Amino acid sequence: MAKKLENLKWKPMWVSHLGCIKGCLDYLNLDISEAWLFGATGHAFIINVHEVVCASGPTAWRTEMLFELAKNIGYTVDGIFAFKSEKDFAEKQKKAWERIKQAIDEGIPCYGWELDIPEFYVINGYDDAGYYFSGPLCDDGKGPKQWKQVGDTEIGVLEMYSIEQGQPADDVKAVKQAFEFALEYSKSPEKWIYPKYGAGLDGYDNWIKALEQGKADSLGMAYNSAVWSECRSYAVGFLKEAKSRMDERLSHLFDEASKHYEVVAQNLKAIVDVFPFRDRKPEHIKDEVRVGAGIEHLKVARSAEAKGLTLLEKIIKEL
């Protein structure tokens, strides 16, 4: 038996998690902009950087709040999360397999973690052997992936989700709760991040220190730069879209916040130019000129980020 949801593909993004969700939302014909998706889930405003700028930073954090805030945007997420080390892992693999098949049978788009490389993938079909999917390095599709292999990796994490339409909250609630999460994640991140990672301004400090001490990982440097640059670019877009949806008396606060996050986005984009992902070379991370430029851009971005977070606090108080 086989089933395929035609025209269900991921939306190519550095944040593959949201790229998959956007692909599912487009399949459901939900008119949600990329900036609103990034911003209203809070993702546009977070940062998670390992002590050596490991490539795991963008995905190695507890993402549950994205699912809670999704309800404000107008969609719901349901699924299964499990670690390979759990005694009932095989049972959860099978449960995920059955639930994904049922969802696809009902025309409900799905996505999951590490069906190929350690990124997220839209699941757009299945046959008797496993899943068919779309995502990083396979935009047009790949499969089948044996269902018993999903999660049975060195990372050892099983994440399989389905996306359905919900009832969006009012815009004020969506913006306020997104900013509240962004501030909590940045200032009190203990329940969201793992040891040796830094969030918010501490994330910048990890990043800067790793470069200064020559400890930054080459792949991680390029990948973190690409991901967090994308996030801050959408932060600017979200602030502008939110301004258009809010009371005009708050416009000046949104404008000021946008200016600070534009500085962050510009400087992180400059780091992308210095440490490109697709044209990455091992010697880049040892190039004193590149490293020096990276440090300076990060310091400017960190300063602007601090000012931006202060503006988010001010906006929350006015909402």
Structure confidence by residue, pLDDT tens digits, 70-87: 999 999 999 999 999 999
Identify the pLDDT of residue 2: 84
d(CA 132, CA 143) in angstroms, rounded, equals: 4
- Using 50, 70 and 90 to split pLDDT, how confident is the model at 12? very high
- Which residues sit opposite 133 in a β-bridge? 123, 142
- Which residues sit opposite 199 in a β-bridge? 48
d(CA 109, CA 105) in angstroms, rounded, equals: 10
- Which residues sit opposite 310 in a β-bridge? none
The predicted model gives 282-299 an average pLDDT of 96
Is residue 218 over pLDDT 70? yes
User: pLDDT by residue (tens digit) across 161-171?
Assistant: 999 999 999 99
As a whole-number percent, the residues of the chain with pLDDT over 90 amount to 98
d(CA 2, CA 132) in angstroms, rounded, equals: 10
Closest CA to 47 of 39, 38, 57, 56: 57
Q: What predicted TM-score, i.e. pTM, was given to this entire model?
A: 0.95
- Residues 175, 242: contact at Cβ < 8 Å? yes
Which secondary structure element, helix H or strand E, spans residue 185, and what is its range? helix 171-187
Closest CA to 57 of 296, 275, 223: 223
Identify the pLDDT of residue 1: 66
User: pLDDT by residue (tens digit) across 83-100?
Assistant: 999 999 999 999 999 999
d(CA 283, CA 289) in angstroms, rounded, equals: 11
User: pLDDT by residue (tens digit) across 152-190?
Assistant: 999 999 999 999 999 999 999 999 999 999 999 999 999
Question: What 3-state class would DSSP assign to 230?
Answer: helix
As a whole-number percent, the residues of the chain with pLDDT over 70 amount to 100
User: pLDDT by residue (tens digit) across 256-282?
Assistant: 999 999 999 999 999 999 999 999 998
Question: What 3-state class would DSSP assign to 303?
Answer: helix
Please, what is the end-to-end C-alpha distance for the chain in angstroms? 52
Q: What is the mean pLDDT of the chain?
A: 96
Is residue 248 over pLDDT 80? yes
Closest CA to 164 of 80, 119, 103: 103
d(CA 128, CA 97) in angstroms, rounded, equals: 11
